[in-house]
Amino acid sequence: MSRPQDHGPSRRQVLALLGATVGSAALLADARAAAGELRIGYQKSSVNLMVTRERRLLESRLPGTGLKWVEFPAGPQILEALAVGSLDFGFTGDTPPVFAQAAGKDIWYVGLEPAKPANSAILVPATSSLRTLSDLKGKRVAFQRGSSAHYLVVRALDKGGLQWSDITPLYLTPSDARAAFEKGAVDAWGIWDPYYAAAEIDGSARVLSTGVGLSSNNSFYLASKALTQQPAVLRSLFDAVSEADAWTKANLPATAKFLSEATGVPLAGTIRFLARRTAGPVTALKASDIADQQRVADAFSRLGLIPRPLKVADAVWKT
């Protein structure tokens, strides 16, 4: 007798299986929410978040909440994790949210730190013959793609009377860019603190231009859509990081020591980073802040470096 053919699961069975899978994912999400887990992404420039973690400023504000802290090399990686559901809250510079929004990522601007134009720079080797921004023509310029340094380089070329096509961009993470810079494999490096301060302190770099007059170098807090539906949690986060900011300003030597040990950046570089950092509480985005960020988005759109124009205001959380 012949064996009946196995045609695999029926359409009804497949749909039932998919429904069970989706249901399981939903249950896991509900379980995480019930457990009160909050996943926070930070980088070496996230002073307020690192101080918040060190001084345990969230524990009393969010009792019973499990806090998971995850370090990333730069903002683009933080927002990618936020977009795929691996994070709830993160800190980046001005450019990563533009690239994320242009790519259709579901991320939301929820807060802003004071502008820090002095905390970013275009660096060249100490022995370089480059003296002005126009000297970047034909040169190899390293920076993290989609980071605040990306916009800094865009603005530097504009001020130097150059086109984007006048340089060879090398998209490197901060650590890889530092290695290439020290080997002489790049002619200039767009970077932010504390990497900027570390390179400056050890004498290997000279400042071609800081961000002053080029970019506000705004620092944003971004959140998942789910977290924007929990305004009390966001208020607790902002109260904590604002307290951390005030503590840092009042305790610079202690903060520098802690950050140096935590990041591996030499103490002298960390002190310089903190000395030129603009202090102030976290605030909601004002109309002028949104307009400033829109200029960042428009610059990348004009150059064709993002796939479509966008409206920053569409991704700003309304308190």
Residue 3 in domain = no
Q: In what order do the strands lie in the sheet with 120-125?
A: 168-171, 140-143, 188-192, 120-125, 205-210
pLDDT in tens, 215-273: 999 999 999 999 999 999 999 999 999 999 999 999 999 999 999 999 889 999 999 99
Element (H, E) at 309: none
Residue 263 in domain = yes
- Could you tell me if 140 and 224 lie in one domain? no
Domain hosting 263: range is 27-115+218-315
Residue 13 pLDDT greater than 70, yes or no:
no
Residue 11 pLDDT greater than 70, yes or no:
no
Residue 19 in domain = no
pLDDT at 203: 78
- Could you tell me if 225 and 91 lie in one domain? yes
Element (H, E) at 40: strand 37-42
pLDDT at 202: 83
Q: What is the pTM of this model?
A: 0.83
Residue 22 pLDDT greater than 80, yes or no:
no
Q: What's the CATH number where 35 sits? A: 3.40.190.10
- Could you tell me if 181 and 43 lie in one domain? no
SS in 3 state form for 41-83? Answer: EECCCCHHHHHHHHCCCCCCCCCCCEEEEEECCCHHHHHHHHH
Residue 64 pLDDT greater than 50, yes or no:
yes
- Cα–Cα distances in Å, from 291 out to 132, 178, 180, 307? 29, 33, 35, 20
- Could you tell me if 236 and 310 lie in one domain? yes
- Cα–Cα distances in Å, from 132 out to 120, 150, 196, 256? 17, 18, 18, 32
- Looking at every residue in the chain, the average pLDDT score rounds to 88
Q: What are phi and psi of 168, to 5 degrees?
A: -105, 105
- Could you tell me if 110 and 183 lie in one domain? no
- Could you tell me if 287 and 157 lie in one domain? no
Residue 277 in domain = yes
pLDDT in tens, 116-143: 999 999 999 999 999 999 999 999 999 9
pLDDT in tens, 96-108: 999 999 999 999 9
Q: What domain count does the chain have?
A: 2
Residue 2 pLDDT greater than 50, yes or no:
no
pLDDT in tens, 169-195: 999 999 999 999 999 999 999 999 999
- Could you tell me if 61 and 173 lie in one domain? no
Element (H, E) at 248: helix 231-250
pLDDT at 268: 93
Last residue of a domain, one of 186, 210, 234: 210
- Could you tell me if 167 and 241 lie in one domain? no
- Could you tell me if 230 and 205 lie in one domain? no
- Could you tell me if 205 and 223 lie in one domain? no
- Could you tell me if 306 and 191 lie in one domain? no
Residue with tokens 């530092």: 178
- Could you tell me if 100 and 123 lie in one domain? no
pLDDT at 297: 96
